[in-house]
Amino acid sequence: MNCPVCDGRSIGKVGVEQFFCWDCCIEFSNQVDKVVIYNLGEDGSLVVWDDSLMNMEQTAV
């Protein structure tokens, strides 16, 4: 299991099929057909990572 964002291996398990990446401080969960990525909000809540933002960054580079 590698982080879907940075491909790192600093992964901690935080729940059932739910993991935390120490490198980019995001959580992600394995679902049936995809991996859902969450950002940790300032108040500790989980915010779903917006895929379109990542695609825009990749296009810009």
Closest approach of Zn ion to the CB of residue 37, in Å: 9
- With respect to Zn ion, which residue has the nearer C-beta, 5 or 36? 5
* Contacts of 15 by beta carbon, 8 Å cutoff, 6+ apart: 29
Query: Residue 8, Cβ neighbours under 10 Å: how many?
Result: 12
- Where do contacts with Zn ion occur on this chain (CB under 5 A)? 3, 5-6, 8, 21, 23-24
Closest approach of Zn ion to the CB of residue 5, in Å: 4
Closest approach of Zn ion to the CB of residue 38, in Å: 12
Residue appearing with tokens 């990542």? 54
